């Protein structure tokens, strides 16, 4: 009987370690997902800024050059 209770204690300890490992893995996965989402958002903003500049700079340049001559 004493031997059985030791096995149960060890397996309960192992079970707790596995639960903690799974929780840590889930936290790491969530952090990775959040980081990927943030990177995607920053990339989208950068692309939008580049497109706005690419469209606005030539228009303003033509407006100033066209108005000057």
**pTM of the predicted structure, to 2 decimals:** 0.58
pLDDT at 68: 54
Per residue of the chain (69 residues), what is the pLDDT tens digit?
A: 455 556 667 788 899 999 999 999 999 999 999 999 999 999 999 999 999 999 988 888 888 887 655
Residue 57 vs residues 19, 28, 50, 60: alpha-carbon distances, Å: 57, 43, 11, 5
Domain residue ranges of the chain, discontinuous segments joined by +: 1-69
Q: How many Å apart are CA 58 and CA 4, to the nearest integer?
A: 81
């Amino acid at each position: 009987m004493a031997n059985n209770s030791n096995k149960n204690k060890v397996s309960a300890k192992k079970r707790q370690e596995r639960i903690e490992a799974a929780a840590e893995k889930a936290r790491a996965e969530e952090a990775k997902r959040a980081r990927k989402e943030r990177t995607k958002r920053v990339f989208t903003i950068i692309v939008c800024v580049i497109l706005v500049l690419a469209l606005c700079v030539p228009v303003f340049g033509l407006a100033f050059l066209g108005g000057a001559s």
